[in-house]
Every structure is written in C-alpha cells, then in structure tokens.
Amino acid sequence: MEQVELRFDHASQASQTHTNLSAIRQSANGLWVAGDETATFEHLAWSGDHFGDQRTYRLADYVDLPAGPEDEADIEGMARANGWLWLVGSHSMKRKRVKSKDPDKAADRLATVIREENRFILARLPLHDEVPGPGAILAGTHNLTAHLREDRHLAPFLALPGKDNGFDVEGIAVVSEQVYIGLRGPVLRGWAVVLQLRLDDSGRRRLRLREPYRKHFLDLDGLGVRDLCPDGDSLLLLTGPTMDLDGPVRIVRWRPAERQGVVPKDELEIVRELPYGVGCDHPEGLARLDDGRLMVVYDSPSPARITPAGGVLADVFTI
C-alpha cells in the first residue's frame, strides 16, 4: 500500500470537505472529488508529488437543484464515462443526532426524521477538456425514489433514515449506457442491492428514467455497497456496514454479465480487505486508476491522515 496527498484550499478545509470525502474519480490530469456536506464538487490536479491546485464547482451552476444552491447535496458517488461526469446524492432520509444528555431532548431528536430535497438528485454534466458544462438532472417529483414507491423490495425502506438500514445510495458506476447505483441500505437478510438504470435527456435540462429498472441482489455477508467503479468487464464494489459501525470493509469484484438478479457468494471475488479505524478512517470512495491500481479515500480521517499543508492522505493499492 502507498499513500498520496490530496491537498485542499482554505475554504474547503473550513467547510471540512477534506474530512468528509465520499466520492472520487480520476480525470485526465488529476482527480474529481466530492464531500457529503456541501453542494459542490472539486477538481485536484496532479503536481508531481501530490494532488492540489484545487478548483471548486458549485453544482447549482450546472443543474437546477430542488432546494436551491446552498443546501447540501450529500454527494455520495461520482462516475466519469463517455465524456460525462455523473454525481449522485444519497437519496436518504436523515435522523437527528443526539446532542444532549437530557433524556427528553435526546428522545425528541431520535424521533425527528428530516427530508432534504437536494439529497434526491442524480446529475449528468458534459465534460469538455475536463471542464464541466451545463447538464441535466433527475430530481424533484421525478427523482429516483419516486420510481420505487411501489417496489416490493425497496418501498418499505424509503421512509427510513439511511443510518437505520433505510434507502441510501452510496455509489455510481457507468458502463456503456448502463448506470449502476450501489445501495448502502437496505440490506435484505444479508443481501445488498445494486440498481441498474438507463436514463435519457428529456429536455429542459432534465433526465428521464427509462423503465423498467433492474435490481441485483448480492450476497456480501451482510455488508452494503459504499462505492463502486468499473474494472474492465467487472465492477469493483467497496463494501462496508450499512449501520453506524466501523467495519469490516472490503473490495469485491462482480461480473454483472455472468448472472443477473440474484448473485450468490461464490460468484463474487474478495479482492482485498481494507483497513479501517475505530470511529475514524471510514473508506467511502473508490477509483480505479489508469495504471490499474485502486485509490481509496476516507470519511472521518484519523489525525495521522491530515497533512501540515491542509491535505489528507488517500491510500493506493495494487491488486
């Protein structure tokens, strides 16, 4: 394993983007990255010994966000394919955290579930020489979950917060015209879910979901999907707990062409077990680099990952 520094500017450090990384993809000359606490995404250029020279892009400058430009979009996945950059929000409900030792106040917060509309987005932006242009979005009344309200497997989980094994998108990969959406939750009796979609531009900067979508159930030993990326004719899945737990975390290879629908354990290959911390160093983003190595970025990085220059260390693995 090697480590490489991702260096962020003062504004991103102040908004804690560098400690909330959730999505990553390689670009022609660097990395596209996103955190889950803002409505922006960033590009970091390779300098020869680190990724830096950050450029920040406001998502609202490229698509119409349902809750406006400032509310966080909770971006949990990115894909880069066929001249497009894709970004997906968690599509999850949120339960308030307990902040008080007062039993009544704590109980009230635990009973409060919040819906934030900017989380329910799937955006596609054209890239011209690695510069994004105005794109299209699946959001609002036609967001992804609106198509799942009658789904016999997923509909019961749409109203549950993501951290409660509710519906929670945490990754996206695009292969040809197929869009694969990895779900951290729900996990159904140990089986994780990946959705396979096809989308069209419906005009007026909107995306339209072609029906029907497809569901794949993968036996990941009770883990959910935390990210996914293409690897030739396979998909690599970053897998981890769906609940608020630290681990285990591993990378798993899945070949979608071999089996559709229900994928038993013996058709999945464990590529690598990943390190994780206790209350820190949660692997959240996975990218396959052009040289075949894998890069992993971490949410809630340990102090040992924070660099004096205001950066954070990502891990690079050879497989």
Give the global pTM. 0.95
Whole-number pLDDT of residue 319: 87
Cβ burial of 272 (10 Å; 0-12, 13-18, 19+) is: middle
Whole-number pLDDT of residue 258: 58
Cβ burial of 151 (10 Å; 0-12, 13-18, 19+) is: middle
> Average pLDDT of the chain?
94
Query: Residue 84 and residue 121: Cα distance in Å, rounded?
Result: 16
pLDDT, one tens digit per residue, over 239-292 is 999 988 889 999 999 999 755 689 999 999 999 999 999 999 999 999 999 999
Whole-number pLDDT of residue 131: 94
In order, the DSSP letters of 160-203 are SBGGGT--EEEEEEEETTEEEEEEEE--BTTEEEEEEE-EEEEE
pLDDT, one tens digit per residue, over 113-161 is 999 999 999 999 999 999 999 999 999 999 999 999 999 999 999 999 9
Summarize the confidence of residues 227-232 as an average pLDDT. 95
Query: Cβ distance 78 to 172 under 8 Å?
Result: yes
Summarize the confidence of residues 192-212 as an average pLDDT. 92
Non-local CB neighbours of 174 within 8 Å, separated by 6+ positions: 79, 80, 81, 82, 84, 86, 180, 230
